[in-house]
Chains A and B, each alone.
Chain A
Amino acid sequence: MTEVRTIEAGAPPERFARGWHCVGLVRDLADGKPHSVEAFGTKLVVWQGESGSLNVLDAYCRHMGGDLSQGTVQGENVACPFHSWRWGGDGKCQQIPYARRVPPRARTRGWPTLVRDGQLFVWNDPEGNPPPEDVTIPEIPGYADGEWTEWTWNNVLVEGSHCREIIDNMVDMAHFYYIHKGLPTYFKNVFEGHVCTQYYAGTSQEHAATGALIEIGQYEGQSTKSDATYWGPSYLVDKLWDTYGDMTIESVLITCHYPITSNSFMLQYGMVVKKIAGLDDETNAKIAKKMTRLIGEGFLEDVKIWRNKTRIDNPLLCEEDGPVYQLRRWYEQFYVDVADIQPEMVQRFEFEIDTTKAVDFWQQELVEQAAAKVGAEA
């Protein structure tokens, strides 16, 4: 009797990943008002004090549980809306206006923060350790000098899925064809330490449908090259080069998320485009908006899949699939104590897919579809 494969769904981890998580753009958070961010199984308050620094604390006031994100900013501190206890960015209660003194134990949880290229990051560590020096978020070269457009930024709330689903995208070559209307011709992953990279090159399905030769580097019409790196568990920097004829648009796409519960997360994506010489800022911004919109449509396709799929701990793979198990082994390092990180979670691993068969098949399919369409119109 042939055995039937059984899906092991497993259960999402209860803890939240250790690492820097982007919670949004500084320009949206630094307006002198407290903001609420539901993340890591709780609620956080984010505010900018009068000195300009951004602070993040647990939103629930340790006095009687008031929600600090509903309060007000008073100088450097955030004031609770319930009894006006004033909390500083270091987590200490600085003042209780109606009391003679502040109880010495009036301390709440402060979250380490980092600002990079206009984005605010929060450090999560279930063990409570500060971020190590060598675990940080890289800068975008030229961002500070205005070589790139302003950020476009969008949020998508994903419910009913653990954020591992979006991590899986890193190694999922074939879904770029079926979900994102791409045609990958080159696909490679490298994992090392807390970093995970995907190298991708491909062309558009429209171009492939013309029957043009689409060997690597030989697209005459349109091509995409992408180097995408996760810096830790949640922040993906994707350097993109989109070529149309003799014009190449260079952009950086950020895809990041923070967990809300173990079964929901906030997906965010934003983009800066390298300003094209000869075009004014407004036109450059328009290009960024348009590209972001197209990418956003792609994410909504992912979300549709996630909403309906099952969690699967034992995916059944073919030779043209990427290294899902090794990716998850890498991802696991963020869910265990630092002392329990196993060598295989952080050792360098490289995997290049042979796309020959896939590219042949997909191109043939696209050419046939195009011919059928012409036939139907005739």
Chain B
Amino acid sequence: MQPVDCARCGTRVQVSKNSAVQTSIQWEFDSSSCPLRAELALGDTCPALSDSIRDAVLGGQLEVASSDL
């Protein structure tokens, strides 16, 4: 997993992606640091964090690669 910082709130999460669609996000705590959390359903990924992950992939900081199985 690699660290990704949310561009909106600065929360650091650990992310891995084994395809364009597949994403694993490990938070360090609960999600209360996310300012959008209150408006989101439990299972929704924060859209700002999703954008940050997408940008990390586009910028080459986050590699999309097969996970070690």
Do A and B assemble together? yes
Binding site for B on A (CB under 8 A): 188-190, 192-193, 195, 197-199, 227, 229, 317-319, 323, 343, 346-356
Question: Beyond the given A190-B43, A348-B30, A349-B24, could you list 19 further A-B residue pairs with CB under 8 A, ordered by the A residue number?
Answer: A192-B30, A199-B43, A229-B43, A317-B69, A318-B69, A319-B19, A319-B22, A319-B66, A319-B67, A319-B69, A346-B30, A347-B29, A348-B25, A348-B29, A349-B25, A350-B25, A351-B23, A351-B24, A352-B22
> In the complex, which residues of chain A have a beta carbon less than 8 angstroms from the beta carbon of B22?
319, 352-354
Does the CB pair A193–B30 fall under 8 Å? Answer: yes
Q: Which 10 A-B pairs have the closest CB atoms?
A: A354-B21, A348-B27, A354-B22, A350-B25, A354-B19, A197-B43, A190-B43, A348-B31, A199-B43, A351-B24
CB distance from A365 to the nearest CB of B (A): 21
> In the complex, which residues of chain A have a beta carbon less than 8 angstroms from the beta carbon of B24?
323, 349-351
> In the complex, which residues of chain B have a beta carbon less than 8 angstroms from the beta carbon of A189?
43
Q: Give chain B interface residues in 2-44, CB to chain A under 8 Å.
A: 18-31, 41-43
> In the complex, which residues of chain B have a beta carbon less than 8 angstroms from the beta carbon of A346?
30
> In the complex, which residues of chain B have a beta carbon less than 8 angstroms from the beta carbon of A351?
23-25
Ordered by A's residue number, 29 sampled pairs between the chains whose C-beta atoms are within 8 Å are: A188-B43, A192-B27, A192-B31, A193-B30, A227-B41, A317-B69, A318-B69, A319-B18, A319-B67, A323-B24, A343-B29, A346-B30, A347-B26, A347-B28, A347-B29, A347-B30, A348-B27, A348-B29, A349-B25, A350-B45, A351-B23, A351-B24, A352-B21, A352-B22, A352-B23, A353-B21, A354-B18, A354-B21, A356-B21
CB distance from A239 to the nearest CB of B (A): 11
Which residue from chain A places its CB closest to the CB of B67 in the assembled complex? A319
CB distance from A170 to the nearest CB of B (A): 12
> In the complex, which residues of chain B have a beta carbon less than 8 angstroms from the beta carbon of A353?
21-22
> In the complex, which residues of chain B have a beta carbon less than 8 angstroms from the beta carbon of A192?
27, 30-31, 42
Binding site for A on B (CB under 8 A): 18-31, 41-43, 45, 66-67, 69
> In the complex, which residues of chain B have a beta carbon less than 8 angstroms from the beta carbon of A356?
19, 21
Does the CB pair A227–B23 fall under 8 Å? Answer: no
> In the complex, which residues of chain A have a beta carbon less than 8 angstroms from the beta carbon of B67?
319
Given contacts A346-B30, A347-B26, contact A195 B42 (CB under 8 A): yes
- B26 touches which one: A188, A199, A349 (CB < 8 A)? A349
CA of A319 to CA of B43 in the docked complex: distance in angstroms? 21
> In the complex, which residues of chain A have a beta carbon less than 8 angstroms from the beta carbon of B25?
348-351
Which residue from chain A places its CB closest to the CB of B33 in the assembled complex? A348
- A347 touches which one: B18, B20, B27 (CB < 8 A)? B27
> In the complex, which residues of chain B have a beta carbon less than 8 angstroms from the beta carbon of A198?
43
CA of A228 to CA of B66 in the docked complex: distance in angstroms? 28
- B20 touches which one: A227, A343, A354 (CB < 8 A)? A354
CA of A343 to CA of B28 in the docked complex: distance in angstroms? 8
CB distance from A345 to the nearest CB of B (A): 12
Does the CB pair B42–A197 fall under 8 Å? Answer: yes
CA of A356 to CA of B69 in the docked complex: distance in angstroms? 19
CA of A349 to CA of B29 in the docked complex: distance in angstroms? 9
Most buried by B among A197, A318, A319, A348: A348
> In the complex, which residues of chain A have a beta carbon less than 8 angstroms from the beta carbon of B21?
352-356
CA of A349 to CA of B25 in the docked complex: distance in angstroms? 6
> In the complex, which residues of chain B have a beta carbon less than 8 angstroms from the beta carbon of A349?
24-27
> In the complex, which residues of chain A have a beta carbon less than 8 angstroms from the beta carbon of B69?
317-319
> In the complex, which residues of chain B have a beta carbon less than 8 angstroms from the beta carbon of A350?
23-25, 27, 45
> In the complex, which residues of chain A have a beta carbon less than 8 angstroms from the beta carbon of B31?
192, 348
Which residue from chain B places its CB closest to the CB of A353 in the assembled complex? B22
Which residue from chain A places its CB closest to the CB of B24 in the assembled complex? A351
> In the complex, which residues of chain B have a beta carbon less than 8 angstroms from the beta carbon of A195?
42
Does the CB pair A227–B43 fall under 8 Å? Answer: yes
Which residue from chain B places its CB closest to the CB of A229 in the assembled complex? B42
> In the complex, which residues of chain A have a beta carbon less than 8 angstroms from the beta carbon of B26?
347-349
Which residue from chain A places its CB closest to the CB of B20 in the assembled complex? A354
